[in-house]
């Protein structure tokens, strides 16, 4: 019951955050120079056409009226109609969101699978060549822009070696008829993984580097605890100490960082999707901004905010599964 109350409490606390995201995005979007009607109809539209478009999308109403109307529509799960695509915003988001979530999930999986072993090995072999190599890799990963990594991977593995595709991303549950060269669902999954490798490395490198550094420092701290020294004094092997005593206790800082890294991952997804021509949420919001598609900008930003808030709540809830000392009754 404590966990349920905590979850409900965090969800309620997220409401002001979401309203804040909507409010800031709404007024910033309205402040963008230019006119979406001119983009739709050209630089010299007729007055009748322009008035009809403005009336259709509510652009002829005062700013505060449009703001209140939008809040009411969001409560009713109505995000409006895209000015550029001329379809409901929810429809475009439903088409693009699975692609971005698939990319985010794969990048975080890649980051964790590589960072945790690197961090543990680096901590166990502190100040040895293995540790130095791991730290250099983490430093390069943190300091290298994701779009540059993507471009280099495309040049090497797509143009020079021709082993991986440089564009698009295929969902593993797509029907075989929609995928070239895939006769079965297994073929679709194989093709999907083939297309996923380069974008995953591009987006996951920054997360991998950050996770490696925090895993190393956290593991070093735990390995210096008194109970670990006592286990060594009793003759417990180093491998068993890491597996049975140190590993689980060293994961709380990493879990915290995973939740916080969602922000950089969402921003990195925009760049990664642009570099690899992936039709996800990142390219969708870029298109919306370029065409001053106010409803689409608002809808995509709202979804990004919700993904981050949900990710942080899941991170908090996962604490109790890693460390039984953590409770949700107001303390530890």
pLDDT tens-digit series, residues 185-241: 899 999 999 999 999 999 999 999 999 999 999 999 998 888 888 888 888 888 888
- Judged by average pLDDT, the poorest of 122-131, 163-172, 319-328 is 319-328
Q: So what's the pLDDT on residue 43?
A: 66
For the chain, which residues make up each domain, given as ranges? Answer: 90-322
Residue 277 has pLDDT above 80, yes or no: yes
The dihedral sign for the CA sequence 231, 237, 243, 244: negative
Q: So what's the pLDDT on residue 331?
A: 44
Instruction: Give the whole-angstrom CA distance, residue 71 versus residue 29.
Output: 15
- In the chain, what is the straight-line distance between the N-terminal and C-terminal CA atoms, in Å? 16
Residue 29 has pLDDT above 90, yes or no: no
Max Cα–Cα distance, the chain, nearest Å: 87
Instruction: Give the whole-angstrom CA distance, residue 164 versus residue 196.
Output: 9
Residue 28 has pLDDT above 70, yes or no: yes
Question: Of 192, 78, 205, 89, nearest to 140 (Cα)?
Answer: 205
88 beta partners: 81
- The two three-digit tokens of residue 49, written as one number: 């056409």
Question: Of 132, 105, 123, nearest to 250 (Cα)?
Answer: 123
Instruction: Give the whole-angstrom CA distance, residue 276 versus residue 283.
Output: 10
Highest mean pLDDT among 4-8, 50-54, 153-157, 289-293 belongs to 153-157
Residue 247 has pLDDT above 60, yes or no: yes
Q: Domain 90-322 in CATH: superfamily? A: MetI-like (1.10.3720.10)
- What is the model's pTM? 0.86
Instruction: Give the whole-angstrom CA distance, residue 222 versus residue 244.
Output: 12
Instruction: Give the whole-angstrom CA distance, residue 24 versus residue 19.
Output: 9
| Mean pLDDT on 277-287 | 92
């Amino acid at each position: 019951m404590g966990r349920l109350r905590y979850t409900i409490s965090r969800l309620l606390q997220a409401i002001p955050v979401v309203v804040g995201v909507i409010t800031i995005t709404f007024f910033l979007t309205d402040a963008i120079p230019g006119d979406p009607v001119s983009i739709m109809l050209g630089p010299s539209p007729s007055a009748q056409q322009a008035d009809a478009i403005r009336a259709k999308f509510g652009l002829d109403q005062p700013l505060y009226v449009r703001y209140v109307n939008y809040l009411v529509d969001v409560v009713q799960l109505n995000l409006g109609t895209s000015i550029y695509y001329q379809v409901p915003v929810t429809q475009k988001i439903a088409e693009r969101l699975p692609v971005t979530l698939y990319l985010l999930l794969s990048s975080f999986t890649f980051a964790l699978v590589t960072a945790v072993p690197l961090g543990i090995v680096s901590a166990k072999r502190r100040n040895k060549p293995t540790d130095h190599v791991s730290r250099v890799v983490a430093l390069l990963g943190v300091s290298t822009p994701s779009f540059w990594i993507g471009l280099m991977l495309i040049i090497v593995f797509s143009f020079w070696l021709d082993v991986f595709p440089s564009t698009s991303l295929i969902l593993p549950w797509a029907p075989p008829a929609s995928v070239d060269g895939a006769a079965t669902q297994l073929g679709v999954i194989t093709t999907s993984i083939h297309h996923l490798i380069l974008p995953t490395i591009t987006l996951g490198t920054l997360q991998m580097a950050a996770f490696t550094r925090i895993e190393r420092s956290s593991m070093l701290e735990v390995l210096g605890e008194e109970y670990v020294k006592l286990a060594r004094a009793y003759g417990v092997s180093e491998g068993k100490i890491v597996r049975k005593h140190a590993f689980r206790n060293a994961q709380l800082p990493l879990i915290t960082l995973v939740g916080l890294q969602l922000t950089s991952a969402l921003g990195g997804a925009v760049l990664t999707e642009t570099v690899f021509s992936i039709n996800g949420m990142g390219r969708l919001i870029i298109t919306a901004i370029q065409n001053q598609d106010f409803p689409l900008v608002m809808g995509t930003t709202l979804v990004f905010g919700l993904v981050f808030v949900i990710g942080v709540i899941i991170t908090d809830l996962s604490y109790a599964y890693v460390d039984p000392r953590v409770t949700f009754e107001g303390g530890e």
